Amino acid sequence: MNRTSRSAILIVACAAMLSLAPMGWAQQTPLGQPQGGIFNPSVLKGEGGCSLTSNCADVAPGMIQSALVESPLEENLRQLTDHFGGRLTGSPAAHEAVEWVVEAFHQAGVDDVHVEKFTMPHGWSEGATRLEVLTPAQFSVRLVSTGWSPATPPAGIMAPVVDVGAGDDAGFAKAGQSVKGSIVLVHSSILETYEQLADEYVQDVAIVQRAQKSGAAAIFWMSSRPNRLLYRHTLSFEGNPEPLPQAILAREDAERIARFLAHSQVVRVHFYMPNRLTGPVESENVVAEIRGREKPDEFVLLGAHLDSWELGTGALDNGCNAALAIDAARVIHSSGVLPRRSIRFVLFTGEEQGMLGSAAYARAHQAEMDKMVAAIVFDSGNGRVTDYSISGRKDIANALREDLKPVQFLHPVNVTLDAELGTDNFYFLLEGVPTLVADQDPANYMLNYHAESDTLDKVDIVELKKNVAVAAVTTYAIADAPERLGERQSRAEIEQLLNDTGLVAQMKAMGFLPFWLDGTRGRQ
């Protein structure tokens, strides 16, 4: 079910933009303050309080109003998605989007914007993947490579397909010796919940290991979406190539192959996937800052990833939240008050390849981690924010509930201790910094997750504006609070937290644990 309901709001400020010829990105100028803005743009620098008033909660209604009225948000998101398209890390589209984002933050009125580069071990792109079914019947199969999958040999792979069920130990045991030299077909259920998604990542890593150990030539994953919808992701979380060629097959085509196999008919295929893997490539995070009035060295980070997979245009994942971070900067700046501490708005790249941009940021800023008060991350589409997951940090729950009071009239936003390994908060958590991940109503997120269908028409702008309000108020309140939200944890405390929350099991299953244990990542 698609719950999208497009906003009928007329964006006056966009009219001039739409008349520009959409040729190069340079002509795609990001929008700044809305016309007829409701705030005085001059910044008040009151001493020892949020503004001329003494209560920090007093500034929240104005920020909420600024987020909800006509704004550059929708037009900015249109440019990020329709103009640049899918922003695969390391691709020209991603680099051009980075330049555009720098300008967008300038337009939002922040004090400083800059780009911080990091290196990915490999660049990757897909060639003209195709599959011919040779026996027992000829039919066309829709398929797409997984990200960072190696190419097949130049002549392709000519092999039988072997059904390994769900790809668990029992499935491989049942298939036995026939797996050697074959292409294994792994079944899936239709993706409906975040829990299923998290399980899928954890289980798939083990399935690849089983396939490799059994001598399989390649893996075919049955699409977890109906109606021949395809999507892409990777299980290689360090930006390195996957161990085996892997493709996602349209669910209906995979089921057809499975039915032949169930009737003991041999399915022989010619699988051709000329992917291009390059050497190291540079990528960039964009960092924008509003400097604090009292403790400018201390900072709260509001982050989202800018990169996406490129079959669609990365609207839900995560263009809408990249646009949210830019708009939260505009909202906070235009409130005319300065927070006590600084706020850094960071758009990461390389998230889809294993949170590489945020890992690089945490590494590059290790000397500042004592000054980092919190990392707030948005990365679950544009469904309503229902909670902030604080990954087991009981010590910050009460203070955060106070900070969230001003947004409760929009809808309830709660605090949960849940923890999950899956987005850009993770490497800050490993540094002992309190992290908040926005939990969002799944809305239409699962169906379109990483898929060809993740396009702007799926985004509910009215809901996204409410999320901008929640993000801006939360970030401002934490940055402005008299006391720090929470202390930085020691390595021993982080270790305890990883055990208490079950994160350590996820790290182990997904291959992250060695980097923590050997000190490559996280607090020493």
The residue ranges that bind Zn ion (CB under 5 A) are 317-318, 379
DSSP helix/strand/coil, 226 = coil
Q: How far is the CB of 87 from Zn ion (least distance, A)?
A: 11
Please state, as a whole number, how many other Cβ atoms lie within 10 Å of the Cβ of residue 165.
16
Q: How far is the CB of 388 from Zn ion (least distance, A)?
A: 17
Q: How far is the CB of 365 from Zn ion (least distance, A)?
A: 22
CA 415, CA 396: separation in Å to the nearest integer? 10
Q: How far is the CB of 310 from Zn ion (least distance, A)?
A: 13
Shorter beta-carbon distance to Zn ion: residue 200 or 317 = 317
Residues contacting 204, CB < 8 A, separation 6+: 167, 221, 235
Which neighbouring-strand residues pair with 113? 288
Q: How far is the CB of 304 from Zn ion (least distance, A)?
A: 8
- Computed on alpha carbons and rounded to an integer, the radius of gyration of the chain in Å comes to 24
Shorter beta-carbon distance to Zn ion: residue 76 or 214 = 76
Q: How many residues does the chain have?
A: 524
The sheet carrying 130-135 orders its strands as 130-135, 268-272, 157-163, 183-186, 218-222, 246-249, 143-145
DSSP helix/strand/coil, 440 = strand
Q: How far is CA 115 from the centre of its chain?
A: 19
CB 285, CB 349: distance < 8 Å: yes
CA 95, CA 106: separation in Å to the nearest integer? 17
CA 347, CA 286: separation in Å to the nearest integer? 5
Q: How far is the CB of 160 from Zn ion (least distance, A)?
A: 36
Shorter beta-carbon distance to Zn ion: residue 143 or 429 = 429
Residues contacting 139, CB < 8 A, separation 6+: 133, 253, 256
Shorter beta-carbon distance to Zn ion: residue 34 or 350 = 350
Shorter beta-carbon distance to Zn ion: residue 316 or 494 = 316
Q: Is 228 exposed, middle or buried (0-12, 13-18, 19+ CB in 10 A)?
A: middle
Shorter beta-carbon distance to Zn ion: residue 90 or 171 = 90
Q: How far is the CB of 446 from Zn ion (least distance, A)?
A: 13
Q: How far is the CB of 438 from Zn ion (least distance, A)?
A: 12
Residue 406: C-alpha distances to residues 60, 150, 326, 476 (Å): 6, 50, 21, 11
Shorter beta-carbon distance to Zn ion: residue 87 or 384 = 87
Shorter beta-carbon distance to Zn ion: residue 459 or 479 = 459
Q: How far is CA 228 from the centre of its chain?
A: 24
